[in-house]
Structure 1
Amino acid sequence: MRRAAVSRISALSAQRNLSRSSRLLSAKPAPVDSSTNPSSSQDDDASSSPPNRPSHRPEPSQKSDSEKELGPLARRLQEATEEALLEGGRAGRRAVLEDAGFSEELKAKLLNKLADAKFHGEHSAATSAIAHSRIPDSAGLGTRSIATAQPWTGTESTEDAVLRMLNDAHKPLAPGLRGRGKIVPEPVDMRFKTKSILSAGQKVAEARDKASLYTSLAGNKQKDVGLSDEEREAMKREFRERFTPGARAMPNTITGLAALANERIEDAIARGQFKHIPRGKGVERDTRGNNPFIDTTEYIMNKMIKRQELVPPWIEKQQELLKTAVSFRLTIRTNWKRHMARMISAKGGSLEEKLRRAREYARAEEVYNPKRKRKVEEISVSTNLTDDPVMVKMSLQVVSEATSTTENATEKNEENVVVGRPFRDPAWEAAERSYMELAIANLNTIARSYNLMAPELAKKPYFSLERELNSCFADVAPEVAEEIKARATLPAKSLADYSFLGSGKPIQRGGLRGTFGIGEQSRVWERQEPRYGFKEFWRDLFKKDK
């Protein structure tokens, strides 16, 4: 019903518009058909005109009303009529052709336009090919794309939007860099050049070398008159040895190698191979400097920052936070491992019993306090994003997976063996609590200052003492058995392995005297004197004779 009402309203509006346009278009003077009876028309004109006034003839500059340009309202109504005829469907056609009251001539024009539009819609490929064929071959790619593009309809198409986004993200190359590289032909000097003039010494040396080679290689004995048979054989053997793998033996001494190197360097200098060598220190060139897709200012600024090793302030704060957190966690893990190993060993028993006890504690720790598995990357989320359904779903998924993992581990352990309680020592926690609370407060202070300057996705959560202790217990429990075994199997340290007052110098066997270098042997003096006081001690301490 609603569709029928809407179509009826559109048909009525189209009919109203068409009636207006028909009134404007039909208000034209009917043309006089003078071809049927020209004589009568001339008589009527002559009778109607006064006798002393010549007959009026229409000038070429004066046009009839039908040839005049339509006004804006008439053009708009004509466009509305065509729109209703082309896009109005059956109701629009009925309103235009039947209810509007147009003349037969106007109806014929509208039907012709409708037929043309239908033909172009059915044969769009052929019409586009014809349009392409009309474009001259000398037209460029831009001209062809503009000529064959669709007219603007008021909305941007998907293809044009994607192309615009690609051009914004990846800047096109300059016109000179597009396409295949062109090989620039080298200019050829067509001028006549004279031969280089050789000096008399060069001519003599060149002639002598050529003559010796010719006489040594030629088989005609008449040309080898200047050489004896032994010299000729030696020269042939020398030329023959040049093509063997070990043709020229290298010198075996440093002096011979230096002489050979100097000889080759001098030959290269004579040939001019050292003329075009650049001087000074080599310049390191960065290939990204000529990249057309990187802005020059951005490249220079990034290079300056990298060369001077500059980082943003929040990166420096992040490094400080990570360093402090790693130091705190390493300290509490070391202390707890040492304390737990001592407490388990203090209960007595053999080494196997101690190791079994430590493994039971580790199994209980795994059941009651398992290690946290990071399924997703831990990033801090601002408070205004906690209600996001995606984030809520991710958090619920991680919690459910962790719960299922813990339940599976608990059921499996309960099936195998009865698990006791994990090892805890409230006395140690009470003794270390003041230090740990102070360290956690310091870490939270650094994290707060870091979060104030870091971007949203790089912010870090605050530290909790309970969470850090649970993580410490879970990480240390599997390592206690190895610590007890190492403490039991390592040899005991002697007194000489310890340093005196932290100076790094080991304690000598002579006690304080040996440590200070006074002497290695000690003597006990027995006397019958009534007392031995500080005076006697001072005398014996610095006594020179033994």
Structure 2
Amino acid sequence: MSKTPGPKVVEGPYYLFWLGRRPHPPLLARQTVASSTRQNHDGPKPARRQGVEEEKGAMARRLEQMSHDSLESSPRSAQKVVEEAGFSEDLRRQLEERIAGAKFKSEHASAIALSRLPSGAGARTRDIAGARPWTGTEAIEDTALRMLTDAHKPLRGPSKIPTPIIRLPSKVDTGRSQSGAVAGDRLATARDRSTMYAALKEAGLSEIEREQFAREMKERFSPGARTMPATMRGLENLANQRIEDAIARGQFKNLPRGQQLERDYQASSPFLDTTEYLLNKVIKKQDIVPPWIEKQQELVSTSTKFRSRLRNDWKRHAARMISSQGGTLEDQVRRAEEYAAAEAVDNPPTWKRVRVTTINPDGHVSQISLSGQLTAPDIQPPPSSTAIPARAPFRDPDWERTEFAYHNLTIKALNKLTRSYNLIAPKLARKPYFNLARELKSAYANVAPFLPEEIRERASRPRSSASVGATRPSGILEKFEMAKARVYDEDIEKKGYGLRQFWRDLWRKGPET
């Protein structure tokens, strides 16, 4: 009684491709084929040759390749499936070796990638190769680095201008003919070479002569022996070689130096707008200013002229009026000083006082100690006189009434100019309007301390002689002015009739009446 053959189990590594795609491993690792059914339908199989392996089909090769990829992608899950599935020992051992190899490559992927890099790889390439692969979660150090990078805005660097690509010409016209060598030239060259070779082989030459002859022959084929290279690369190499030889000889050491190159470090500052900076620089070079700056200059110039004229007129008039009150020069000066003291009490000048830091004899700043501490001295307030001045501040209502028309007209013109300036000027650069009473009060306060000195100058100034009845010519006419005539009194009765009277009577026209 023969036994019926059982189902044949076909096992192979390419079935592992289905391990990660189906939930039940026993249904994926085995394939049963009934041999009895195959014998009934297909008939007896031809005998296989011993030692000859059956060729695999395209489907089998594809499944095997996919199973290998599955092992390398997920070695742990493949090992678990292999343990659950029933494979033969040899196949199981092969699969475990492959799984172990794939697991090793997966765990040490960065080290393997670094070992396979060439020796000339850059630092960035090595960092990318040794970086940890993405697992779905961000590492703590990467999070900290990202937060630090996002906290500070990167500085604006200079724009990278692409370098123009200059293609070198393949050939350079050196003036020599491009035609090939003539047959006669080639024969002559071959004859010379053979002659040199025969001379070199002669036994009469010593070793030193042979070495010298060989050196001369080698120099003929050196780059320096050629008259002119035929390519652009050869020209560049020749120029570099000559420059290096000149540097080695020291020909570039004592060259005259030019002027220092002026560098504008603000142009490359990342904190300034490049366009605005360049526009302002161009405007500054062309001496162009904004309209409100021109208006401001006009306003300041006009106001300065008015204030200086107001102070000069008042100083001259006040000194003249104080001197006209009589007394000696000392009395006039003392009277002016009393007026100045009364003005300082009633209307003190509003001058800005700036305290300059002094330096002690040791060469150190007096306000900074040797330990580095800043000691600010106590600023004493100016002494205030409690005594009531004997005189009131000097004023002249008649002068104010006389000059009122001019002052009022000038103040209106200044206010009109200020109004037009404030319309175009920025808010922080606007100026207040002018007031006649405020300007007069400021002029009185500023002029009062200078009145005594003005009186002394007026007293010591030489007086000019004024002619009565006619104005004295001035300017260029003074150079052509004739000397003053002197009239001599001629008394004919005392001196008698002389030559002068005779000559006058001789040329007199008409009869004497």
TM-score bracket, shorter-length normalisation: 0.3 to 0.5
When normalised by structure 1's length, the TM-score is 0.40
Structure 1 or 2: more helix by fraction: 1
